[in-house]
């Protein structure tokens, strides 16, 4: 055998080993892995094809064999971040995916973990440092709030990549983050604060505006609906209102398909629904007409008239009960009690809109993700896909379009920004999913194609 042949054989073997990483450790041996501020609490192989999440009765099925690793992270003395990373026992695609949380987080999300696992990813999830979809743990514990706000996702990404390396013998070649709602906020925070964590990010319906004045102003819909019993619009009237709006605006896009393509082009006066001869299921009382008008109007800062919260969009009427029910959304009242006013007994009904709203102007929150400067993320070649349903009943869609416009202005205009950012507004889709419009699609594949093949998504089929 010649020296040239030997060299070629060595090069070929090295290439093979790089393409198919050899496991550097057994799953169980990861229990002995030492990481800064980290305790590995579990490392076990799951080969049964199914997994029942803690506290659940239904199992997740059709799972490939995997190594389940659980850990507790303590980046500060007051931190207690729980996380899990699932590692395919075979067929690893060489990539890592983190999944986001909804609402106030508070739990590891096992269904998204299973979805990433089935695609061949090493995948992680976290409770972000507290238990339960509540803000109680933030009261008197600013570091716990900071873990939720921005630190936990970053810490989990770092530790997950290290655990992945220990198991497979190599780092993930690419890293992705996918989240919606609160997870969409986490996605933007990652791009803004930690631009090197992920090569590609999907941010769905991001609850990006977390400033106290914005959170409090979102209760304007509750106040409008509940200021007196006569103003309240019962859910039984939602379909009637919705159908009237659709009839008025459906054909604006040139296609009559029962969907409002872009509600910003829609105009509708609830006065046309006012009862002519007493209240009935097919009309609105004078007080209810006023309530509908307020729901379809932005909330403004009392002194300056500046828009704080955009209006609920035309076409979202079937979901009015989320923000206009007899009690505000738990997410809102939790933040009012434990973050904004720091009083567990705070009663949202005592909020004085003109006075209290103005007091909150200028007060910041570490959870806020409205910074349009993503120079570092764009500069390292990161790709970001943002999507939002026009009929979102919980996180108002214009929050996202306004933010997108701010990013365009900050980052050099549409042509330059389109090299790394794409926005998709989904007709008639609700919050993250559901609704009357197309609402099932695969944004991760679109992102992979962009990051790995350089093909930016011009459209996404749903």
* Residues labelled catalytic: 181, 392, 431
d(CA 63, CA 68): 12
């Amino acid at each position: 055998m010649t020296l040239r042949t030997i060299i070629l054989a060595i090069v070929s073997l090295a290439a093979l080993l790089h393409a198919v990483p050899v496991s550097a450790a057994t799953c169980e041996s990861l229990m002995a892995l030492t990481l800064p501020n980290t305790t590995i609490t579990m490392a076990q192989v799951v080969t049964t094809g199914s997994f029942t999440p803690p506290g659940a009765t239904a199992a997740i099925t059709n799972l490939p064999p995997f190594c389940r690793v659980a850990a507790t992270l303590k980046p500060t003395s007051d931190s207690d971040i729980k996380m899990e990373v699932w590692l395919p026992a075979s067929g690893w695609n060489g990539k890592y995916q983190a999944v986001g949380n909804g609402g106030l987080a508070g739990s590891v999300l096992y269904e998204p973990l299973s979805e990433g696992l089935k695609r061949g990813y090493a995948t992680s999830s976290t409770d972000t440092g507290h238990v339960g979809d509540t803000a109680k743990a933030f009261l008197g514990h600013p570091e716990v709030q900071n873990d939720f706000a921005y630190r936990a996702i970053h810490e989990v990404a770092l530790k997950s990549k290290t655990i992945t390396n220990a198991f497979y013998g190599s780092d993930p070649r690419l890293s992705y983050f996918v989240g919606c709602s609160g997870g969409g906020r986490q996605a933007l925070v990652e791009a803004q604060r930690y631009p090197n964590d992920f090569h590609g990010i999907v941010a769905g319906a991001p609850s990006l505006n977390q400033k106290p004045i914005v959170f409090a102003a979102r209760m304007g819909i509750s106040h409008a609906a509940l200021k007196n019993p006569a103003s309240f619009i019962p859910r039984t009237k939602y379909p009637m209102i919705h159908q009237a709006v659709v009839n008025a605006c459906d054909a604006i896009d040139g296609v009559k398909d029962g969907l409002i393509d872009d509600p910003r082009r829609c105009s509708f006066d609830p006065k046309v629904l006012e009862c002519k001869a007493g209240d009935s299921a097919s009309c609105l009382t004078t007080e209810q007409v006023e309530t509908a008008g307020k729901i379809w109007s932005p909330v403004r800062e009392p002194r300056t008239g500046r828009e704080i919260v955009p209006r609920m969009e035309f076409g979202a009427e079937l979901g009015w009960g989320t923000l206009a029910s007899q009690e505000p959304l738990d997410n809102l009242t939790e933040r009012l009690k434990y973050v904004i006013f720091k009083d567990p007994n705070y009663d949202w009904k005592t909020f004085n809109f003109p006075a209290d709203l103005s007091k909150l102007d200028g007060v910041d929150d570490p959870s806020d993700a409205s910074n349009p400067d993503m120079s570092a993320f764009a500069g390292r070649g990161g790709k970001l896909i943002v999507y939002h349903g026009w009929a979102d009943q919980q996180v108002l869609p214009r929050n996202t379009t306004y933010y997108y416009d701010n990013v365009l202005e900050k980052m050099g205009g549409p042509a330059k920004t389109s090299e790394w950012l794409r926005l998709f507004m989904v007709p008639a889709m609700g919050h993250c999913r559901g609704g009357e419009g197309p609402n099932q699609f695969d944004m991760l594949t679109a992102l992979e194609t962009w990051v790995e093949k350089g093909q930016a998504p011009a459209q996404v089929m749903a």
